[in-house]
């Protein structure tokens, strides 16, 4: 297969090539860049009037969490926004390694009984995915909660020295098999009690193998200041490459958030510490997020028991934080499809109650806490400011859900994170377009050591996207035209990307 892109205004490596050029693609590689009036190709793309860049790399995605890497292998939602590579295994939960073959850490996102697990180790998972290819390239982090829950179950306690040894052995092996690093979900109940010392021991393993550490910060009643200090301290103590996952300006915590941005800005310029953001002001949360801390202890079954006990349910209802019931929309409700798309205000009418906290608890009980919500609780002005921060990376924090048997709402960021970001860059001029493209191509490729991707160079893999006015015109994955004019190549052409430690 050969592709000739004619008259491209190329952006690559933080630079705009001064002259319009042609790009000749042969097989899965960029063969030549120049002026080729006489070349013949199987497919010719007229790129006059549009920008051409490397395919975008989404550093925080959820297609593995929702199991759509199996149900929706084409991953259309990413292709339609110019994404050619996704990083999974985020927020402490990954598809592997599984000591006991269970996907318990994914239950907050989906019904894990939908798939039969026939792997345990990272190597087995990646080999399985190579036999069932995706429409985009896929790399995975190793989930902290995934391993920890297999070691201690639902207990919220420090690990023993022997358990730490087991954990470090499992993590090191998972990275040697191709895992890109370690992710934590410290705001989730199963990891909230994790000690900083445990995290540092694990981060040292990631640093030694030159991987990436991503962290969903802890929740604190006082806001984000203490958790971000913890993340910065870990980064300084270990030197591990760090990304704070979806570091967002929550309403009511603006001063603390600005303080966090300033602390990140004041790091040594050589420090490889970043945060990721989507340009949309909506959070997606498991419904148990709104429970008071004491009621989140244990697994879903224990939380559910708290709600079905009359006395404890009354205590929970009194202690739920004040919320705006119109700004919480149910996006997924296990076996209760009638609730999907309703606000908590709507549920008050549905259940015939006057107290929105009572309606929220009724939804929790009806879904046995297997529900998710959209929560509009982000300061939009501060979000726009954060997008321009020099340590900000762009991520959808979403899954491609083009085909699913489950009724759920799809967030706009799942379809338009990168087009929206590019629109802000082109129309609002929030930063030079060269800088913007580097942040979604070369920079993440360098961080995750994804070789021969993230730039348009001869000999690099042909992951290429063309766009104009925030609209994606075409997406090429490994030399195949995967998306053009709202149409898809129905054959997936993505590759499994293993961390370089796998080959050493």
Same domain, 127 and 160: yes
Which region among 67-76, 130-139, 153-162, 216-225 has the lowest average model confidence (pLDDT)?
A: 216-225
Q: Which of 335, 359, 375 is the last residue of a domain?
A: 375
Same domain, 108 and 182: yes
CATH number, position 19: 2.30.40.10
Backbone angles phi, psi at 52, to 5 degrees: -125, 130
pLDDT digits (tens, 9 = 90+) for 469-478: 899 999 999 9
Q: Label the pairing between strands 392-394 and 142-143.
A: unpaired
**Location of structure tokens 């191709």:** 178
Its domain, for residue 371, covers: 286-375
State the burial class of residue 213 (Cβ atoms within 10 Å of its Cβ: 0-12, 13-18, 19+).
buried
Same domain, 174 and 261: yes
Q: Is residue 504 part of a domain?
A: no
Cα angle for residues 428, 430, 433 (degrees, 5° grid): 95
pLDDT digits (tens, 9 = 90+) for 52-61: 999 999 999 9
Same domain, 149 and 215: yes
Closest to 230 in 3D by CA, of 200, 208, 191: 200
As for how many domains the chain has, the answer is: 3
Same domain, 49 and 60: no
Q: Which of 326, 344, 375 is the last residue of a domain?
A: 375
State residue 406's pLDDT score. 62
pLDDT > 80? residue 337: yes
Same domain, 259 and 308: no
Angstrom distance (rounded) from CA 48 to CA 144: 47
Same domain, 309 and 346: yes
Q: Is residue 361 part of a domain?
A: yes
pLDDT > 70? residue 502: no
């Amino acid at each position: 297969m050969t592709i000739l892109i004619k008259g491209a205004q190329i952006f690559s490596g933080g630079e705009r090539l001064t002259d319009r050029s042609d790009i000749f693609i042969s097989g899965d590689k960029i063969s030549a860049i120049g002026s080729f009036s006489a070349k013949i190709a199987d497919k010719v793309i007229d790129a006059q009037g549009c920008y051409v860049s490397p395919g975008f790399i989404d550093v925080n995605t959820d297609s593995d969490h929702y199991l759509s890497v199996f149900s929706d292998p084409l991953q259309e939602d990413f292709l339609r926004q110019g994404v050619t590579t996704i990083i999974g295994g985020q927020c402490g939960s990954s598809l592997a390694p599984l000591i006991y073959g269970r996907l318990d850490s994914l239950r907050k996102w989906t019904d894990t009984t939908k798939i039969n697990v026939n792997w345990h180790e990272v190597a087995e998972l990646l080999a399985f995915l190579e036999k069932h290819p995706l429409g985009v390239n896929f790399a995975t982090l190793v989930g902290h909660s995934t391993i920890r829950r297999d070691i201690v179950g639902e207990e919220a306690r420090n690990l023993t020295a022997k358990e730490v040894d087991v954990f470090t052995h499992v993590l090191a092996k998972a990275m040697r098999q191709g895992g890109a690093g370690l992710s934590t979900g410290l705001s989730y109940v199963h990891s909230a009690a994790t000690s900083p010392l445990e995290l540092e021991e694990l981060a040292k393993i990631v640093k030694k193998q030159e991987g990436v550490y991503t962290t969903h910060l802890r929740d604190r009643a006082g806001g984000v200041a203490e958790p971000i200090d913890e993340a910065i301290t870990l980064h300084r103590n270990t030197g591990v490459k760090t990304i704070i996952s979806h570091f967002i300006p929550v309403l009511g915590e603006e001063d603390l958030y600005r303080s966090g941005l300033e602390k990140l800005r004041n790091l040594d310029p050589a420090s490889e510490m970043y945060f990721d953001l989507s340009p949309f002001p909506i959070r997606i949360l498991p419904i148990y997020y709104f429970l008071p801390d004491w009621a989140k202890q244990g697994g879903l079954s224990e939380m559910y028991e708290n709600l079905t006990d009359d006395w404890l349910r009354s205590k929970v209802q009194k202690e739920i934080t004040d919320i705006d019931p119109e700004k919480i929309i149910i996006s997924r409700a296990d076996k209760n499809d009638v609730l999907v798309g309703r606000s908590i205000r709507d549920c008050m009418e549905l259940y015939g109650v006057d107290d929105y906290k009572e309606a929220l608890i009724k939804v929790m009980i009806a879904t046995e806490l297997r529900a998710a919500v959209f929560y509009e609780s982000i300061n939009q002005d501060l979000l726009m400011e954060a997008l321009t921060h020099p340590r900000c990376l762009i991520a959808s924090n979403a899954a491609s859900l083009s085909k699913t048997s489950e009724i759920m709402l799809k967030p706009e960021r799942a379809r338009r994170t990168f087009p929206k970001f590019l629109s802000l860059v082109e129309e609002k001029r929030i930063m030079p377009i060269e800088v913007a493209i580097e942040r979604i191509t070369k920079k993440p490729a360098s961080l995750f050591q994804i070789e021969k991707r993230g730039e348009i160079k001869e000999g690099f893999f042909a992951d290429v996207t063309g766009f104009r006015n925030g609209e994606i015109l075409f997406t090429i994955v490994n030399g195949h035209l995967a998306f053009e004019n709202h149409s898809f190549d129905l054959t997936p052409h993505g590759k499994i990307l293993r961390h370089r430690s796998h080959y050493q």
